[in-house]
Amino acid sequence: MGKYNKIEKSWILYDCTISTYSMIIITTILPIFFRMVFENAGGASSMATVYWGYINSASRLIIAVAAPILGTIADYKGYKMKFFKVFCIIGIIFTALMGVVPDSAWIILIIFFIISSIGNSGSNIFYDAFLVDVTPKSKMNMVSTIGFAAGYLGNILAFAICMSIVILSEFKMIPISIGAACKISFVITAVWCTLFSVPIIRNVKQVYGIEKEDNIVKNSFKRLSSTIKNIGKHKNIVLFLLAYFFYIDGVNTIITMATSFGADLGISSSSMLIVLLLTMVVAFPCSIIFGKLSEKFKGKTMLFVGIIIYSCICIYANFIHNIIGFWILAMLVGTSQGGIQAISRSYFGKIIPKEKNNEFFGFYNIFGRFAAILGPLMISIATQITGKSSSGIFSILILFVLGGALLTRVSNDSEEDVEVNLEKDVIL
């Protein structure tokens, strides 16, 4: 990271909290713990995947509704970091509180998880929007992808620690239950997120924004209303957001439901954790490769590459019947998971007005969060109807097809225009 300055490094490091939370809380250990708690309370194992999908949809619906107005208010100078801190702290506190939930209190676990998820997702809105404040457009692709790569690298260590505790408890090598091991993992995650939140809070400042005025909330709603009315003037932004809505839905769904899918295949918790750890190992270099290739072939081209790979994953998932197939699927996910998310973030950062970056990233996040509602819902419904979670994964293919089709309509000149504008800024 030698070619990145202190501010860029501080921003990059926060991705360690995002990746760790996503892996431990969303994808792996919390789903395992939820299944245990749900069954301890008398729930049927076959319904755990269904409920987990519904719970994730509900948590993301809340932040999706709030995202645009939060982003619009945060466009005022001095507000972005304040909002970031509030949501970051909420996420950390309720992540830690999941570590004290009784082993059969699944409703309390759901409540704490939803609040924790709102905090984590809310802070991510402002974290993404800080991208335009910390680096010029010419470096956005690489800074964004290095962020994801650093997140995976840091996540490998945190996840390895938590995974080891769970596996050792499963094989009775340490005197604690699997449930207790999961709870310890939640506390470790909260501590980890705290540590990697400090650099961005200390070193990153809001550069672009609107000057403060009276009646901030009222005027924010007015500005949001005006943007919605005039958003048709930003054709490329609208088309990209629609494309993003569909393809990122598929990405988030596969990440969110991976552990439940593996459990339905009969794969043990320890085996799944090892597979997913190796997925992070694959994702780390692949994220950097995506960034390097985006400099040569442009970000839009690499987005298509990611969409094609994920489409193949959806098809392949329908033919998986054992752990070997799950290994192959996980490695495929690792090749594109970070790249497609990082390039989406930087591509969007390039095509939006800088002075309204929070507002537009609010829209970016609402499309991302609402997308995360549809996918798990589709899997839950398909699984409930067919009795096979593989059918649910296969149904997600339509989201990548729609996303790819819409992305073809985004102007090929978008990135070139950005570079031209950057050169003009330098000349001026």
Is the pLDDT at 420 greater than 50? The verdict is no
Please state which of the ranges 15-19, 178-182, 388-392, 416-420 shows the lowest mean pLDDT: 416-420
Place 370 in a pLDDT band, splitting at 50, 70 and 90.
Answer: low
**CATH number of the CATH domain containing 289:** 1.20.1250.20
pTM value is 0.74
How confident is the model at residue 231, as a pLDDT? 66
> Across residues 363-369, what is the average pLDDT?
69
Residue-level pLDDT at 358: 65
In a domain? residue 213: no
pLDDT value, residue 176: 92
Stronger pLDDT, 212 or 340, i.e. the higher one: 340
Give the DSSP letter string of 173-222.
Answer: SSSS-HHHHHHHHHHHHHHHHHHHHHHHHHH----S-BPP-SSHHHHHHH
C-beta separation of 320 from 329 below 8 A: yes
Quick one: pLDDT at residue 425? 31
The confidence band for 362, taking pLDDT boundaries of 50, 70 and 90, is low
For residue 428, pLDDT beyond 50: no
Residue 427's pLDDT is: 25
pLDDT at residue 412 above 70?
Answer: no
Q: Which amino acid is at 315?
A: I
Q: Report how many domains make up the chain.
A: 1
| Share of residues in the chain with pLDDT > 90 (%) | 23
Q: Which of 161, 143, 144 is nearest to 23 (CA)?
A: 161
Q: Is 311 a residue whose pLDDT tops 50?
A: yes
Does 55 reside within a domain? yes
Q: What is the mean pLDDT of residues 180-191?
A: 95
Residue 183 is assigned to a structural domain of this protein: yes
pLDDT tens digits for range 263-286? 777 777 677 778 877 888 888 888
The CA-atom distances, in angstroms, between 145 and each of 13, 138, 139, 253, 286 are 12, 13, 10, 21, 9
Average pLDDT over residues 22-43: 84
pLDDT band at 259 (very low <50, low <70, confident <90, very high): low
* Residue 246 located in a structural domain: yes
Tell me which of 337 and 53 has the higher pLDDT.
337
Residues in contact with 7: Cβ distance below 8 Å, sequence separation at least 6, in sequence order: 134, 135, 203, 204, 205
- How much is the average pLDDT of 315-333? 83
Per-residue pLDDT at 77 exceeds 50: yes
With respect to residue 1, please indicate whether it lies within any of the assigned structural domains: no
pLDDT 10s digits, 194-211: 999 999 999 999 887 777
Mean pLDDT of the chain: 81
- Give the mean model confidence (pLDDT) for residues 391-412: 87
In this prediction, residues 90-99 reach a mean pLDDT of 96
369-384: average pLDDT: 72
CA distance 395 to 186: 32
**Structural domain contains residue 217:** no
> Best-predicted range by mean pLDDT among 155-159, 294-298, 402-406?
402-406
Could you list the residue range(s) of the whole structural domain that residue 382 is in?
A: 8-208+222-427
Can you list the positions of beta strands (E) in 6-110?
none
Q: Residue 309, Cβ neighbours under 10 Å: how many?
A: 17
Distance, CA of 184 to chain centre: 23
Residue 348 has pLDDT above 50, yes or no: yes
Q: Is residue 214 part of a domain?
A: no
Q: How high is the pLDDT of residue 84?
A: 92
Higher pLDDT, 282 or 321: 282
Q: Quick check: 253 pLDDT over 70? A: yes
Picking from 411, 283, 199, the residue whose alpha carbon sits closest to that of residue 27 is: 283
- Can you give the pLDDT at residue 270? 73
- Evaluate whether residue 2 is within a structural domain: no
Contact 128, 365 (CB under 8 A): yes
